[in-house]
Structure 1
């Protein structure tokens, strides 16, 4: 196992848009990344097929080891909503989450993006760390507030999800 991990850490991940044939592998990756919420395999298939311009897959040695599902908010196309980030235990420690987020921002579909949003439960330290690191790397303001509430939206079955907003507007204006 240590030898396999070392090989993964030496290789550079290939980042690409997903294709429909990736759906089942992505579903398995998400299932292996507890405590991520699992969607149906069909949901992952549709994400790969319909939202490939705003989703990203990371591969090492032909194996999918990273996945971000995201979409442009229909009522606000300047906002990219990141639905889910999954990184295989085999590829952790490579900064893969940040690499995938950066790759998304470089896509033509995201040319007008000024904000990135996601929801995170208070106890999800890995996600908080990823998005804080991403915001810091872009010298961007980050804000959060309770959005989908445990009692009001989840019938006490799921912890409150905090809407995290990263204002990329300044970064975008500086790059122009």
Structure 2
């Protein structure tokens, strides 16, 4: 009975989080995807050539952080992602985090990761083919997509807003409990 109550509390918490600012914000953020959609699949590499395919990550909670070295808001947000999300969950086999760098060569992406610094892996999106499956042409890059273990999008962010960032962290925590 106690386990059922805790499960119901978790579900209610998750619904409350999803119903917060995120639900109305997704239409204002220039996304082509929405909460509940299956995340568009892609295959790309890290700067060192490691191949990453999103559909191979099914069974994990996935965070995609769209970024670029020229983006000042990305530079502001990335240390928070590193400290508050990556360092906390990187050893969890049910979690994956990838920064997806828009339209920059491998050398620039590697230098960018060292400048911030971040240790979570960055992916190459040299022509924006990944980004433009998720967001409109001309939409800004500072955005995060949280994907559940079944490959469904459950949370979207845009820019760096502490309240929204805290909600995103709570969503990740809830998803990892399942």
TM-score by length of 2: 0.31
Higher relative contact order (CA 8 A, sep 6+): 2
Higher relative strand content: 1
